[in-house]
Structure 1
Amino acid sequence: MQILNIHIDPRFLWMCNNIIPVKRIMEIFLSRSRDFVNRLPQKSESAERITELMLKMENEFRDGKDSYETMVKLYLFEILTCFVRQFDTKRSKSEVILLTYEKFLYINRSVEYIEQNYAKDLTLEELSATAGFSQTYFGALFKQMTGMSPWEYINIKRISRARELLKTTNKTVDSIAAESGYNNITLFNRIFKKITGLTPSQVRGDLQL
């Protein structure tokens, strides 16, 4: 069975607010009932079209022809349209936290703060303060916007940095772990494997083959 996993950063959608109906598209990510299933039937028309569009996006990235960025965005917009047509987004307002553009701006402050400070020892109190919300509300709103908890987001940023260092430097795994925000090498190895499916040694070993 082939699984195509698509992760879309909502911040990209908000930045395209003058091009596409952002609020309508965001509903499929943010206004979900408890029985929502974020999968498309493999044999459905939408799944086949999305797979085709993803392959076209990959080709555009690989070929790098003039204005390829524009073509990639156009394909992405069509993918989002497929999502809107596929999923029913009529929800009871009591079931969801509505993400307005203003709330997005506050949460985006926290996202930017994480991107600048992910290697530091961050706390939920510190992160929620950047958005001006309580810790509980901040955690729920952050997950609504990004699809993950603040800690999951931080770990992805840290591991992405660690993987880059493994590929581009000769630093030891211990020093890379510390530079990426992990003082515990065992924890670093476990999270690295969970996110990438590989160990740090395997990533570095692949480059030496």
Structure 2
Amino acid sequence: MEGWGTPINPAGDCSFAASDEDLTIVVPGTETPHDLSPELESSTAPRVVQPVSGDFVVEVRVDGMFQPGDESTQPGRTGYTGAGLVVFADEGNFIRLERATLHRQAGEPEPYTNFEIRVDGRLERIGIVGELPADQSKPTWLRLERKGDLMLGSVSLDGNNWEHGDPKELRAEAWAGNGIVAGVAAISTSKGNFEPRYSALSLQRGSVPSDE
């Protein structure tokens, strides 16, 4: 997929449609989750990634319908759909920044921006509803920027004005390695199909100013 990277489809049941302008990932509604949570022994979410090294900035726009429903395919968890950016040092050490919606049983859908880090297979701190801007009716722009041993995450609802989450510290030894990849992923514990669309992908090597 020129310009996007290499598709990874661990469950073998997702599909990818890419052009010069956008990428759509189709995650089917099944009885099993397409999650990206090694702490739950569940890492079958589809993604498209490419190699990166040193400091970099990756940015993407995310559109689509985020309606997981209140029945989750992940036991003991809420319905969830999320789409956005990922950066992997390895399968146990990675960053997720995604437009997302939670839907608790008998509750209302809760859109939010989810910014999380896994450290040696453990979730260090869960993303919190209301911590960063989110709007179900608008596209979302997402940005991850590596600066040395920190990963900065930012979100925008118009592509111009950005709000920043608390930086994630890249403490694991894996972040000093050469196998780091960055790209997009789609996560779903919904029993319905999930088809997020990504566009305006940019990847800049070398750090650039975060505030605009």
TM-score class normalised by the smaller sequence = under 0.3
TM-score computed with the length of structure 2 as normaliser? 0.22
**Greater helix percent: which structure?**
1
Q: Greater strand percent: which structure? A: 2
Q: TM-score, normalised by structure 1?
A: 0.22
Higher-Rg structure is 1
Higher relative contact order (CA 8 A, sep 6+): 2
